[in-house]
């Protein structure tokens, strides 16, 4: 009777998890398994799937446009992921203390992250407009050269990097929570030993929050892999000259617009592998730390 009384709350907890587990199964696991199977078929949603083995992946390797999308995606990730982490760390350090006005600044930092994707994308379409956009007006007022931005293939990709940098609020919260979790006694001890601000944060705080920085880095590496789909779909469709064509948009076009669903599923697996790579590297680093 006592064991049944103890186990009863645990059974109720599992029952509360059932709706979420059903959602994960129906909306994530089953579609993932279906995508994996379709990647090895020729399927257009109008006829029965035809098994083609690795043919779709061989076509991806030979497709010049896929190579451009892959290169643009790696360029976007190579700049946006480390810059978001750096900006989040600096912002968290500046807004760590509860001084007057800091709460408002934190809210302002989080505001772009909470904006709907469509509204945020269309706002940037106005911001970088080469004729009446505020960025070019400021550059012209300072006597600096203006840019065509989304109309210029050489800089169009950088617009999406800037968009990603202004939506780093969640990484900021992760790092801020890590900083607030550092015991005040460690700061006091470092000050007693004569450590100044920078030495204290470099030798005391940074090693403590390093795992949290890894969490933020891993999260952004996976999130930004799929980040570009909505803005590119809404404002550029991959133009000009494929400069804003990233893997998510390429996969969407192949699967939905051209009904090459099997081919699009193969492209989706490539995206999954790219997203899985930082997870594997993080797991390897974690196991190496545990062994030490």
CATH code for position 164: 1.10.3720.10
Residues forming beta bridges with residue 42, ordered by sequence position: 50
Residue 182 in domain: yes
Q: Over 80: is that where the pLDDT of 194 sits?
A: no
Split into its structural domains, the chain has a count of: 1
Residue 160 in domain: yes
Nearest by Cα to 210 from 282, 279, 280, 278: 282
Q: Over 60: is that where the pLDDT of 4 sits?
A: no
Domain span holding position 184: 74-244
> Which of residues 112 and 192 earns the better pLDDT score?
112
Residue 47 in domain: no
Q: Looking at residue 151, what DSSP letter applies?
A: G
Q: Over 60: is that where the pLDDT of 1 sits?
A: no
Alpha-carbon distance of 37 to 8, in angstroms, equals 40
Residue 284 in domain: no
Q: Over 80: is that where the pLDDT of 187 sits?
A: no
Give the Å distances, CA to CA, from 37 to 107, 176, 207, 255.
Answer: 44, 42, 44, 14
Q: Over 60: is that where the pLDDT of 3 sits?
A: no
CB neighbour class for 39 (10 Å; exposed up to 12, middle 13-18, buried from 19): buried
Task: Give this prediction's pTM.
Answer: 0.88
Average pLDDT of the segment spanning 204-226: 89
Q: Which residue has the tokens 């009446």?
A: 132
Residue 6 in domain: no
Number of residues assigned to the chain: 292
Average pLDDT of the segment spanning 205-227: 89
Residue 117 in domain: yes
Residue 3 in domain: no
* Mean pLDDT (the chain, rounded): 89
**What is the four-CA torsion angle of 94, 219, 225, 154, rounded to 10 degrees?**
20
Q: Over 70: is that where the pLDDT of 289 sits?
A: no
Residue 220 in domain: yes
Average pLDDT of the segment spanning 124-146: 93
Please report which confidence band the pLDDT of residue 5 belongs to, taking 50, 70 and 90 as the band edges.
Answer: low
Please report which confidence band the pLDDT of residue 18 belongs to, taking 50, 70 and 90 as the band edges.
Answer: confident
Structure tokens at 39: 């990647």
Average pLDDT of the segment spanning 175-202: 82
End-to-end CA distance of the chain: 45
The confidence score (pLDDT) of residue 50 equals: 94
Q: Which residue has the tokens 């059932």?
A: 18
Please report which confidence band the pLDDT of residue 117 belongs to, taking 50, 70 and 90 as the band edges.
Answer: very high
């Amino acid at each position: 009777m006592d064991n049944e009384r103890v186990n009863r709350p645990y059974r109720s907890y599992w029952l509360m998890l059932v709706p979420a587990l059903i959602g994960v199964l129906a909306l994530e696991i089953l579609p993932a398994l279906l995508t994996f199977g379709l990647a090895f078929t020729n399927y257009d949603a109008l006829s029965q799937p035809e098994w083609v083995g690795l043919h779709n992946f061989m076509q991806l390797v030979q497709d010049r446009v896929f190579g451009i999308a892959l290169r643009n995606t790696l360029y976007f990730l190579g700049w946006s992921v480390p810059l978001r982490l750096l900006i989040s760390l600096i912002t968290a350090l500046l807004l760590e203390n509860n001084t007057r006005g800091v709460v408002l600044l934190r809210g302002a930092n989080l505001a772009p992250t909470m904006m709907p994707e469509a509204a945020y994308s269309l706002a940037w379409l106005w911001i970088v407009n080469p004729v009446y956009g505020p960025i070019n007006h400021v550059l012209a007022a300072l006597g600096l050269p203006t840019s065509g931005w989304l109309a210029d293939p050489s800089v169009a990709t950088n617009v999406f990097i800037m968009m990603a940098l202004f939506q780093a609020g969640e990484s900021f919260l992760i790092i801020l929570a890590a900083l607030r979790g550092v015991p005040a006694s460690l700061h006091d001890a470092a000050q007693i030993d004569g450590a100044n601000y920078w030495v204290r944060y470099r030798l005391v705080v940074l090693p403590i929050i390093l795992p949290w920085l890894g969490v933020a880095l891993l999260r952004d590496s996976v999130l930004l892999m799929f980040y570009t789909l909505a803005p590119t779909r809404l404002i550029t469709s991959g133009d000009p000259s494929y400069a804003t064509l990233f893997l998510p948009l390429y996969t969407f076009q192949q699967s939905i617009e051209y009904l090459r669903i099997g081919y699009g599923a193969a492209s989706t697996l490539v995206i999954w592998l790219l997203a899985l790579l930082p997870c594997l590297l993080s797991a390897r680093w974690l196991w190496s730390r545990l062994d030490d």
